[in-house]
Amino acid sequence: MIKKIVIAIVCMASAGMYAQNGTVSPYSFFGIGDLRTSATVENQMMGHIGVYADSIHLNLQNPAAYGELGLDVMDKVGLVTYTAGISNKQVRLKSFEEEQSSSLTTLDYLSLGFSLGKGLGMGFGIMPYSSVGYNFVDETSSSGQALTNIFSGEGDLTKVYYSVGYQIIKDLSLGVTINYNYGTLSNERLQQVEGVQFGTFDRRSSQINGFDFNYALLYTPQINENHTLHTSVRVNTQGNLVSRNNRNIGSFSVASGTNIENLEVDLEAINLRNTEFKIPTTTTLGLGYGMDFKWFLGAEYSFQGLGSFENPFLGTNNIEYNDASSLALGGFITPDARSFDSYLKRITYRAGVRLDKTGMVVNDVDINNFGITFGLGLPLGRSFSNLNVGFELGRRGTTRANLIEESYFKVNVGLSLNDRWFQKRKIN
């Protein structure tokens, strides 16, 4: 049964991974777009924290957690875990004068992890890294004539990763993830002057690829017979992405929309054909406390020296970058994971909250994000597999300084499926 479900997920992934942009945010105009979360639905429901690890779920944020797979779950050496997640996001974009709503559905991750023996685990998968998707109009007046600029952009960067984690001594695990990021981002500006039959366009595209690494240390000592302390340090090293750029400018007919003139800009002459994005290092500290498979409460703090980031190819003037940070709290409770007479007692209830300082300063205003998360982990039969349903309510940005406030409601659905491999068959 599990194999059939996995085949269905793979088919859905191949059809839907690139089916539509992963954002409708005007803030994806900046940088390399909206950075997407790497958390599973289980972790997203707990405020996106990654300090908690157990033996039956994948933790895609924390590679050291792979060293926990298969441990202390009876005899689960050779445990294989498949996980996939999709989400639907309802977004309301509000300015000082008007508002509009939009909706998008995306595949968030498709991953496989497995135990290679006691204390050693590995995994690989694919997920979005960042997304660009915006369309907005800026209307001003020049010399008594209305001047209209229409900005639009689309594209995604995708992440393919490989992770390994190992428990070097009791309660102490190390892990590393190698990420390869690739994709194409496109941006366009159309400019029209009232009463003029021709407009101008500026189209730019970037083919981007590059690596980054995520190192993690996970320490989970037993405080007493029933309770465990969870501590974690994660360092996502500077991402060095190379961008191959193209730019075309020209004119078009306002009436028909057809191009009148189309010129390719010589980017070699201005040293912009090949540029680099240096995504600054992010460090995350986590601390939690709980009873295994019963309850957990934890917190994480992340910080990133984003002030050094720039995108010279786009040449945006109304943004600057400051250091970014994030504070998240979350946890779960499972009334009785081994209950035989009550399904409700075997459900895992999760909740969390997070506050992100994105580091973006647009029109001299800080762009921050606040979110509340909650959801359920629903057991599938008597196995260790489960269906996870999560919800997130949040708000990003502001209507001050002619900016946009985003209010969103996100529904996540994730499958975590467990199976065994290398299991010897016995004949009685």
Query: 84, 122 in Cβ contact below 8 A?
Result: no
Q: What is the pLDDT of residue 68?
A: 86
- In angstroms, the CA 352 to CA 69 distance is 24
Please give the DSSP secondary-structure letter assigned to residue 337. Answer: T
Q: What is the pLDDT of residue 76?
A: 46
Q: What is the pLDDT of residue 20?
A: 54
103: left (phi over 0), alpha (psi -120 to 50) or beta: beta
**Residue 257 burial by CB count (10 A; 0-12/13-18/19+): exposed, middle or buried?**
exposed
- In angstroms, the CA 297 to CA 39 distance is 17
Q: Is the dihedral of CA 21, 27, 29, 35 positive or negative?
A: negative
Q: What is the pLDDT of residue 370?
A: 97
Q: What angle do CA 296, 301, 307 make, to 5 degrees?
A: 160
Whole-angstrom CA distances from 364 to 317, 402, 403 are 11, 11, 11
Query: 81, 55 in Cβ contact below 8 A?
Result: no
Query: 298, 328 in Cβ contact below 8 A?
Result: no
Of 277, 211, 204, 202, residue with least CA distance to 243: 277
Beta-bridge mates of residue 127: 159
Tell the residue number behind the tokens 């057991």, with chain if given: 379
Dihedral through CA 305, CA 204, CA 318, CA 243, nearest 10?
A: 10
pLDDT tens sequence across 154-166: 999 999 999 999 9
- In angstroms, the CA 77 to CA 225 distance is 24
Tell the residue number behind the tokens 């090293």, with chain if given: 237
Query: 80, 385 in Cβ contact below 8 A?
Result: no
**Residue 322 burial by CB count (10 A; 0-12/13-18/19+): exposed, middle or buried?**
middle
Q: Which residues contact 303 (CB under 8 A, 6 or more apart)?
A: 282, 283, 323, 324, 325, 326
pLDDT < 70 regions, the chain: 1-21, 71-78, 142, 420-428
Question: What class, spelled out in words, does domain 2-420 have in CATH?
Answer: mainly beta
Q: What is the pLDDT of residue 211?
A: 95
Q: Beta-strand (E) ranges in 237-337?
A: 239-253, 259-264, 274-279, 282-291, 295-304, 319-321, 324-333
DSSP symbols for 359-415: EEEETTEEEEEEEEEEEEEEE-TTSS-EEEEEEEEEEEE-SGGG--EEEEEEEEEEE
- In angstroms, the CA 230 to CA 148 distance is 55
Q: What is the pLDDT of residue 71?
A: 65
Of 325, 317, 318, 307, residue with least CA distance to 368: 325
Q: What is the pLDDT of residue 177?
A: 97
Provide the token pair at 146.
């209305």
Beta-bridge mates of residue 277: 241
Of 333, 325, 318, residue with least CA distance to 374: 333
Of 107, 126, 86, residue with least CA distance to 389: 86
Q: Domain limits of the chain?
A: 2-420
Q: What is the pLDDT of residue 78?
A: 56
At 223 the three-state DSSP class reads coil
Beta-bridge mates of residue 150: 137, 190
- In angstroms, the CA 279 to CA 66 distance is 25
Of 24, 21, 151, residue with least CA distance to 91: 24
pLDDT tens sequence across 167-211: 999 999 999 999 999 999 999 999 999 888 999 999 999 999 999
